[in-house]
Chains A and B, each alone.
Chain A
Amino acid sequence: AQSVTQPDIHITVSEGASLELRCNYSYGATPYLFWYVQSPGQGLQLLLKYFSGDTLVQGIKGFEAEFKRSQSSFNLRKPSVHWSDAAEYFCAVGVRSNDYKLSFGAGTTVTVRA
């Protein structure tokens, strides 16, 4: 079965600084990979996704992620964070034979300080 690991439970970053959130997955083949963001009291919003092709994918809100097959990673980055980026971020993996069931990582909470 596929699994997702987000090593960082909590990250604090200064406004304007860069942000990188780590995600490692375990799956035998190339999975579908996603990053979702959840603001307090809200549901999850899709930031970006990777299915195939270009390993650097661009998402909404200035986020990007890079798929590295050799490292089984799909790290999320943003060059300059805004206070509104404070939220919880989830990496998720979907299996090509079971498209509509996602396995989520435990999440990384991002705090932005002024």
Chain B
Amino acid sequence: KAGVTQTPRYLIKTRGQQVTLSCSPISGHRSVSWYQQTPGQGLQFLFEYFSETQRNKGNFPGRFSGRQFSNSRSEMNVSTLELGDSALYLCASSQGQGGVPGELFFGEGSRLTVL
């Protein structure tokens, strides 16, 4: 069974640009969560999608958005990039319903560098 796939793995952007990151969950998983990981703030929850609906949202500005498609694949977008957005963005999938609550399966992440 393939794991969680995130693309791209690495990317470099400049301030003011926007970026889109993609996540393909484990087959059969309907929940996709996104986390931002930085040395200073650690792992912070961005949002969670289930069946194409945002079910939970963290405390991030509106520049951070996401969506989920009918095949459960998810994308997150960050607009008007700031230096502080440099981070490892982790996607995690779970069954989302009827499965083990909170058992997340993580991808390897997309490392974003903003110059």
Contacts and interface: CB of A to CB of B under 8 A. Distances in A.
A102 B56 CA distance: 11
Interface string B43-55: 1010010100001
A90 B44 CA distance: 12
Contacts of B107: 43
Interface stretch (B14-22, B66-74, B79-87, B94-102): B94-102
Tell me which of B42, B90, B102, B104 has the highest count of chain A C-beta atoms within 10 A of its own C-beta: B102
Given A43-B4, A102-B45, A94 B108 contact: no
Interface stretch (A18-26, A45-53, A67-75): A45-53
B106 A100 contact: no
A107 B48 contact: no
Contacts, number: 62
B42 A94 contact: no
A94 B45 CA distance: 12
B31 interface: yes
A29 to B, nearest CB: 14
Interface string A100-113: 11111111000000
A90 B43 contact: yes
What class of interface size applies to chain B in its complex with A?
A: 20 to 34
Contact of B108 (A34, A42, A51, A96): A42
Interface of A: 32, 34, 36, 41-46, 49, 51, 90, 92, 94, 96, 98-107
B25 interface: no
Contacts of B56: 98, 100-101
Contact of A102 (B55, B96, B102, B108): B102
Interface in B1-39: 4, 31, 33, 35
A103 B43 CA distance: 8
Contacts of B108: 41-43
